[in-house]
Structure 1
Amino acid sequence: MQVFYNTCQPLKKYIITQMKRWFSLQSFLLIGLVSWLCSCNSAREKESPEKILSAPPYAGLTDSIKRFPQNQALYLERAVLLSQNDRHELASGDYKKAWELKPEEHIALQYVSNLMLVNRPQDAVNLLKECIATWPANPDLHRRLSEIYTQMGETKKAIDQYDEWAQQDSTNFEVWYEKGVLLTQLKDTPAAIIALEHSYRLAPINYNGLALASLYGATLNPKVITLCDDLLRKDTSNITNDVLYLKGSYYSDTKQYDKAIREFNECITRDWKFTDAYIEKGIVLHDLKKYDSALKVFTTAATVTNTSADAWYWMARCYEQLGKKDLALINYERALALDKDFEEAREGIRRMKK
């Protein structure tokens, strides 16, 4: 989203005026276009499967299938081509035939995706269960089944699926990581932490460690510092700034302001474009009532990323505290222009207009 500066307003008004002038004509043309598209869609729906498959771009493959009806690769190739052209219903038949000719894991996953596109989730579930019975060690099958259960609103079944996977492969850290991610999405933070802790014990690596550290930080658990220090010691994939930011956020939330500023400064030193680090540092200074210093930090954040609604909002907060209501109003309005759902900015505007 962009900020509409005052210099842009004449152009914006001109565009709106011109739009009003030709809106009637455009509406007329749009109605005609919609009618034409509807007629095209109706004609497309009336086409028989035989006619579609015997015409380009499918005709060559269809001829080959007639000559070699047991060739799995031909059905799969045509299914993919049909899918690319939004012919998902027709593609279903080819995916099914390819699967029946030679059941393979990668074909099953493609077929499952197709079944979801044509709104047949229960068939997708049944196919995945069949596949898991045959290939219990394939993590993609377990993961996909849990995802579908989640999409269907069957969250208990989704979690049970991960538990079943864990029973079959209890030393697989991905099982516990995936379960932790799902539980996080379901807002069951305590259970998510348990799952991610298990994952990290099995394989203490960056991505499950960061996920666990984020939950520790969100719940103000002091374990976040120990875990972050552990991640920093063995950082091999350039996650240092993320870890430092988590530490700084924890120190800020627990009012250990000197330590928080130290971590945010380190983030900024390592990456001057780390906008969130500027904003969190500025909030610390704001909480300490150092409004002039905080304003400088938020201004820098807005310079680094001028689409950051938070940067403009906190600049407004500082101006409000400094008694500069006109500047506060301008910046609250900028924040709201960038984020229409920014209720705190909207409330700030109301305060400034009283």
Structure 2
Amino acid sequence: MKFNHEEEEENNFSITRYESMLRSNDVKFFDSDEFESIIHHYLENGKIAKAKKAISLGLSQHPSSVNLKLLQVEVLVFENRLDKADSLLAQLYAIEPENEEIYIQKANILSKQNEHLKAIELLNMALSYADDTADVYSLIGMEYLFMDDFENAKINFMRCLEADNQDYSALYNVIYCFDFLEQHQEAIEYLNMFLDKNPYCEVAWHQIGKQYFDLNEYEKALTSFDFAIISDEYFIGAYLEKGKVLEKLKRHSEAIENYRITLELDDPTSFALLRIGKCYERLGNDDLAIQHYSKTVHEDPLLDKGWIAITDYYMRKRDYQKALYYTNKAINIDGENVLYWKRYAKINNRLAFFEEAERGYRKALELGNYEIETWLNRSDILRYIGEPDAAIQNLYQAIEFYPDNAEVQYRLAGLYYEMQDYEKGEYHIRKALELDYEYHIVLEELFEKIFNLTLVKNIISEYE
């Protein structure tokens, strides 16, 4: 650990000295290892222009350095100058045919060209020359992921972990593969084997807890998250997941405690504030519930779940004026969110602001919310505000998505009869009765006068 600290200090000193040289325009000598660490520093921080300048200066002082030229290849690949990178790699291969980095960079080029199988071939060749195989196995795993071959990806990420059990990104990728393949039980077995060798790995405990959560085995999930916290008492993710489990077990006060710990460990997250609000609401503490919902939207105004929580809270309380106030605020922030417009329509409908309600349903449809209830509610409102033609047009649009929906057909029948277009009215009532006889109650509820017409009753009687 001391060595790593000393190495980091040396790197920082090299970077400081190098940047001082640039400011003074006084060229100083750096050995090739120093240039490598300087270039890596710039690449890791996304400072490509500075990395390129350091490569240029480094090669001017060390023109035969293969490692510096490989870093030049890495930059060329990043810039998509693949032909030039390929040409430089061919030269380097002639000098050092057993340098694994040459195979890795060539594989990187092939990967960019969507030649993933060829890239894997080269990475397998790199394995025979690599001292540290973990990174190579991880790269092979990523190539298989690009091809959606999750089984082979999983195998190679596992090999990566065998070589380096501290590579948590590989562990996450293994679990990602298990999840995609819906192999929850297999994931648990693998994680248990991993934990036998690494009993204090908080990431593995966290992941096994999530698997148990997905399988609704909440007590086992809870135990797993407890072990994750024992392994690392500052692991925020474990407290959040533990809170979710406690909610499922209806232990809301304990859930609040765990969410609160996350607020103390780091800056407040909108997720934790929202969940605390939900827990307080379930405990019947409305004041603290709404207080935390308000904190949620203050923390993250773009989180729709926060605005929806406040709106739904007031809707449950039948305080539609306040519900509308918060829905309008949400729409002002994100006018393209269909969930807001659905609530806007519903609230205005409850307040008997029918034109605004119709606008809400129309906007929801424009944004792609094609649920049958949206079409039906809009149709009923259009009829109520005296726009039967628009109601009919709306229902014909619904038929494109729901051609066999009886409720749509009964409404069309009622509307046409009200407009005294008996031919079309009869066509649609017969179609509706063929689709679902029992639903003729829709006609009775919405179009009572039409339902009581003798000619309509006679048609209905034919299908009894």
- TM norm. shorter chain > 0.5: yes
Percent of residue pairs identical: 14
Q: How does 1:238-277 map to 2 (within 5 A)?
A: 238-239=268-269, 241-268=270-297, 275-277=304-306
Match of 1:227 among 251, 254, 258: 258
Q: 2-side partners of 1:220 and 1:345: how far apart?
A: 33
User: What is the CA distance between 1:106 and its match in structure 2?
Assistant: 1.0
User: What is the CA distance between 1:217 and its match in structure 2?
Assistant: 3.6
Q: Please tell me whether Structure 1 or Structure 2 has the larger radius of gyration of its CA atoms.
A: 2
Match of 2:128 in 1: 100
| The 10-residue stretch of structure 1 (198-207 or 156-165) with the greater mean CA deviation from structure 2 | 198-207
> 2:335 is paired with a residue of what secondary structure?
coil
Residue 207 of structure 1 aligns with an amino acid whose one-letter code is G
Match of 1:306 among 335, 346, 369: 335
User: What is the CA distance between 1:83 and its match in structure 2?
Assistant: 0.8
> 2:287 is paired with a residue of what secondary structure?
helix
Residue 206 of structure 1 pairs with residue 239 of structure 2: no
Residue 213 of structure 1 aligns with an amino acid whose one-letter code is G
Residue 299 of structure 1 aligns with an amino acid whose one-letter code is N
Residue 225 of structure 1 aligns with an amino acid whose one-letter code is I
Q: How does 1:108-123 map to 2 (within 5 A)?
A: 108-118=137-147, 121-123=150-152
User: What is the CA distance between 1:291 and its match in structure 2?
Assistant: 1.3
Q: 2-side partners of 1:285 and 1:120: how far apart?
A: 48
Residue 230 of structure 1 aligns with an amino acid whose one-letter code is I
Residue 198 of structure 2 aligns with an amino acid whose one-letter code is D
> 2:98 is paired with a residue of what secondary structure?
coil
Q: 1-side partners of 2:258 and 2:347: how far apart?
A: 34
Residue 180 of structure 2 aligns with an amino acid whose one-letter code is Q
Match of 1:295 in 2: 324
User: What is the CA distance between 1:132 and its match in structure 2?
Assistant: 4.0
CA distances 1:156-205 after superposition (whole Å, capped 9, x unpaired): 22221111122212222111112233444556555444432332343333
TM-score of the superposition, structure 1-length normalised?
0.72
Residue 76 of structure 1 aligns with an amino acid whose one-letter code is I
| The 10-residue stretch of structure 1 (186-195 or 89-98) with the greater mean CA deviation from structure 2 | 186-195
Residue 277 of structure 2 aligns with an amino acid whose one-letter code is G
Unaligned runs of 5+ in 2: 1-82, 383-410, 412-464
- Cα distance change on mapping 1:189 and 1:352 into 2, 3 Å: farther
Structure with the larger RCO, 1 or 2 (CA within 8 Å, 6+ apart): 1
User: What is the CA distance between 1:84 and its match in structure 2?
Assistant: 1.4
> 1:170 is paired with a residue of what secondary structure?
coil
CA distances 1:12-51 after superposition (whole Å, capped 9, x unpaired): xxxxxxxxxxxxxxxxxxxxxxxxxxxxxxxxxxxxxxxx
- Cα distance change on mapping 1:127 and 1:269 into 2, 3 Å: closer
> 2:128 is paired with a residue of what secondary structure?
helix
- Cα distance change on mapping 1:100 and 1:218 into 2, 3 Å: same
CA distances 1:115-151 after superposition (whole Å, capped 9, x unpaired): 3445655554544454444444443444333333333
- Cα distance change on mapping 1:341 and 1:61 into 2, 3 Å: farther
Residue 226 of structure 1 aligns with an amino acid whose one-letter code is E
Match of 1:333 among 354, 358, 362: 362
What RMSD, in angstroms, separates the aligned Cα atoms of the two structures? 3.1
CA distances 1:275-327 after superposition (whole Å, capped 9, x unpaired): 54333222111111111222112111111221222222212121111223332
- Cα distance change on mapping 1:271 and 1:119 into 2, 3 Å: closer
How many matched pairs? 299
- Cα distance change on mapping 1:67 and 1:259 into 2, 3 Å: closer
User: For the Cα contact (< 8 Å) 2:154–2:173, is it kept in 1?
Assistant: no
Match of 2:177 among 142, 145, 148: 148
> 1:242 is paired with a residue of what secondary structure?
helix
- Cα distance change on mapping 1:265 and 1:122 into 2, 3 Å: closer
Match of 2:104 among 76, 81, 88: 76
Match of 1:64 among 86, 92, 114: 92
Residue 113 of structure 2 aligns with an amino acid whose one-letter code is N
CA distances 1:213-270 after superposition (whole Å, capped 9, x unpaired): 23434554312222233333x242333x432221112233455433322222344455
- Cα distance change on mapping 1:258 and 1:134 into 2, 3 Å: closer
User: For the Cα contact (< 8 Å) 2:212–2:220, is it kept in 1?
Assistant: yes
User: What is the CA distance between 1:57 and its match in structure 2?
Assistant: 5.4
Match of 1:165 among 163, 180, 194: 194
- Cα distance change on mapping 1:220 and 1:328 into 2, 3 Å: farther
- Cα distance change on mapping 1:105 and 1:215 into 2, 3 Å: same
TM-score of the superposition, structure 2-length normalised?
0.56
- Cα distance change on mapping 1:120 and 1:275 into 2, 3 Å: closer
User: What is the CA distance between 1:113 and its match in structure 2?
Assistant: 1.6
Match of 1:279 among 298, 303, 308: 308
User: For the Cα contact (< 8 Å) 1:142–1:162, is it kept in 2?
Assistant: no
Q: How does 1:183-194 map to 2 (within 5 A)?
A: 183-185=212-214, 191-194=220-223
User: For the Cα contact (< 8 Å) 1:275–1:304, is it kept in 2?
Assistant: no
